[in-house]
Chains A and B, each alone.
Chain A
Amino acid sequence: GDSVTQMEGPVTLSEEAFLTINCTYTATGYPSLFWYVQYPGEGLQLLLKATKADDKGSNKGFEATYRKETTSFHLEKGSVQVSDSAVYFCALSGFTGANSKLTFGKGITLSVRP
């Protein structure tokens, strides 16, 4: 079945550091790929998405590129802020109906210190 693997955490960075969070996937067909974020005390929010190979999703300074050849969707940000401290989940879904259910990775906790 479909699966998502995220790098082990937690990750602690200083403010303005460069961030990379690795994500690889296994899926049949051509899934859509997502990064969701969960800030402390809040619900899951969509951060960015990409729906086909070589697409780049971006939002709030974060970027991720859909790499079909390496089955990866790594999340990057050039300069993190304290407010980026959260749990980040990589996920995939199929396209239609019940196949559009999300398959999530385990999540990784990011802490950014001033």
Chain B
Amino acid sequence: GAGVSQSPRYKVAKRGQDVALRCDPISGHVSLFWYQQALGQGPEFLTYFQNEAQLDKSGLPSDRFFAERPEGSVSTLKIQRTQQEDSAVYLCASSLAFFGGNQPQHFGDGTRLSIL
């Protein structure tokens, strides 16, 4: 369909490995968000892109986390030297316009990351 697509759906990695999570937003959506959802918790903001510009990365938990959206469409969230506390569901959301308060965010199904 035409929704937000995330891949892979599940990722298992050993502690210390690097991982890359992909988000394909709805075509034409300007705003893209990444969230981290720990088990039993609500999603927490990681970073925000407006087109290709990363305007807010205040939620990234450490410098091991890096996100990019080079052409203003697909985005990748990379985690280097993974730790067990990185285990969570990573959600991507996109919305149509810059003025987000009146534009709903459309969420992907998430990537469930497990660090062994």
Contacts and interface: CB of A to CB of B under 8 A. Distances in A.
B18 interface: no
Interface in B45-72: 45, 48, 50, 55-56, 59
Given A44-B43, A44-B91, A106-B40, A99 B100 contact: yes
A45 B105 CA distance: 9
Contact of A46 (B48, B91, B104): B104
Interface residues of A, number: 29
Contacts of A99: 100
Contact of B100 (A43, A96, A104): A96
Interface of B: 31, 33, 35, 40-45, 48, 50, 55-56, 59, 91, 93, 95, 98-105, 107-110
Interface of A: 4, 31-32, 34, 36, 42-46, 49, 51, 89, 91, 93-107
